[in-house]
Amino acid sequence: MDLKDLTPDSGKPTYSRFKSCIVKKLTSSVPVASSPIVTRWQQTHARNHAEQTFTECQPINLFPADGSELVPIKNSTNEPYIITNATARCHETTYLQGRNKRRAEIAKKQKCLTQLLMLQEGGFGIPENDSIKICGNTECIWKGCQNGTPNEFTAHRVSTNTETFIPLEPEVRLHITGLRNDYYLNILDWNQENLIAVALGSAAHIWNGKTHRSTERVNLNSSLKYISSVAWIKEGTCLAVGTSDGEVQLWDIETKKRLRNMFGHLSVVGAMSWNHHILSSGSRLGLIHHHDVRISQHHVGTLCHKKQSICSLKWSTNNKLLASGSSDGLLNIWPNDPGATVHCKPLKAIPHASAVKAMNWCPWQSEILATGGGMKDGFLHVWDISTGKIIETRDTKSQICSLFWLPKTNELMTGQGLPKNQMKIWKYPTLTNSTDLYGHKGRVLNIALSPDHSRIFSLAADGMACVWKYC
């Protein structure tokens, strides 16, 4: 309501005046600053309006075409506008110098991202993808590999007789741009076709583990959401992608097509796991959805995890049991019942001291499960799920971010956090620490194993990824 409507000259405000002012305010296009919720339509409308407004703006020419000098002019308030050609050219020169300096710095950074090594059968080319680049580590100014010390990547192998310090460098080191340092996400997976999926922001990049080249990219084409989890189907090239707004997408990497979108979650989909044609997905609201990807009504079952964030989800190797870990430190074991409802109870509920994100089933013993504790825990446990008892446990003295089994050597590998950010290899079943792999300067968020079980892909919060040959 305008203040002039309330002045003594206008008399008392009438109802019609009051109503007309309210209607004007409600129909105004000015956004309401106190509104906490903005719909997607409002965001799109506002963005389109801003783009239209920007494109309609015209540049202002400070230099007259006839070369005349802009002289000081005074307005009615006697405030001078002192703009001369000399002053404007001075500001333009300063701006151009700063812009050229910034471009030179960016070019210098990109120049250091060169090829890492040349193998006997031929060298690796630098991928065309700007988000994944092979690192040469020569005068590199990247945070993850400054100074380029030769023994930066090392392994400490411990034997029963003597301790030997053996230098070990990864086959390939990669610079990763756009990685989210989020403990609760599962953004790395390696399939049977030797393809590695890495989620970086709103895109999932596909990297060939044999040729060491980036091949394809799955893009959400949205800056408002990001990919929070990826999972390959066990046979084939179908990739499941979970997003931050609760969507699950299926992509065929071979044909480069999105097969379908599956809705149902209302929050971040942080973990997924395949059981033949059933895809199970878990969100930060504590719900686990079973999707039958063969039918149109894909949502066939739901499990409830006490409304705590699901940060890990794994089907057992014989597909009879589903293990889920949550942010409240609870490990649940569920039966193979895709049509389950939210009232379904887990077969076993095993509490931990902190979040259960690192978790994996033993490939050669279907009822053996290994779990790793978070920052307030740090214990590595091996469970016999049939009895619910611990086979062995070990204090790693740091956060366990990731975990998987090494079938060739009957060992376990864990990706650790502070203080050393290393990878540890443990003998099974004694959980004796046999090897430590150092080199990452941030916590090792995700690790994956190649189809032939001989190579390891590690992804860390320092923006570095490494491919290691272990056996």
> Whole-angstrom Cα distance, residue 65 to residue 376?
70
Model confidence pLDDT, tens digit, residues 7-29:
444 455 677 777 677 666 555 54
Which CA distances in Å does 285 have to 196, 282, 355, 417?
Answer: 28, 8, 15, 26
Model confidence pLDDT, tens digit, residues 332-343:
999 998 777 778
pLDDT > 90: percent of the chain: 55
**Which pLDDT belongs to residue 25?**
59
Does residue 427 contact residue 434 with C-beta atoms inside 8 Å? yes
User: In a 3-state reduction of DSSP, which class is residue 146?
Assistant: coil
Residue spans of beta strands (DSSP E) within 407-452: 411-416, 423-427, 432-438, 444-449
Average pLDDT, the chain: 77
User: In a 3-state reduction of DSSP, which class is residue 349?
Assistant: strand
Quick one: average pLDDT of 370-395?
95
Q: Please tell me whether the overall predicted TM-score, pTM, comes out greater than 0.75 for this model.
A: no
Model confidence pLDDT, tens digit, residues 383-410:
999 999 999 999 999 999 999 999 999 9
**Which pLDDT belongs to residue 147?**
44
> Whole-angstrom Cα distance, residue 331 to residue 325?
5
User: In a 3-state reduction of DSSP, which class is residue 438?
Assistant: strand
Model confidence pLDDT, tens digit, residues 247-287:
999 999 998 899 999 999 999 999 999 999 999 999 999 99
CA 32, 36, 41, 43 dihedral sign is positive
**Which pLDDT belongs to residue 29?**
44
Quick one: average pLDDT of 87-100?
59
> Whole-angstrom Cα distance, residue 133 to residue 175?
5
Q: Which of 260, 291, 257 is nearest to 277 (CA)?
A: 291
Band the pLDDT of 107: cuts 50, 70, 90. Answer: low
Query: Which residue in the block uniquely carries the two structure tokens 């239209």?
Result: 52
CA 368, 385, 336, 346 dihedral sign is negative
DSSP labels, 266-309: SS-EEEEEEETTEEEEEETTSEEEEEETTSSS-EEEEEE-TT--
Model confidence pLDDT, tens digit, residues 315-333:
999 999 999 999 999 999 9
Type of residue found at 385: I
Quick one: average pLDDT of 430-447?
94
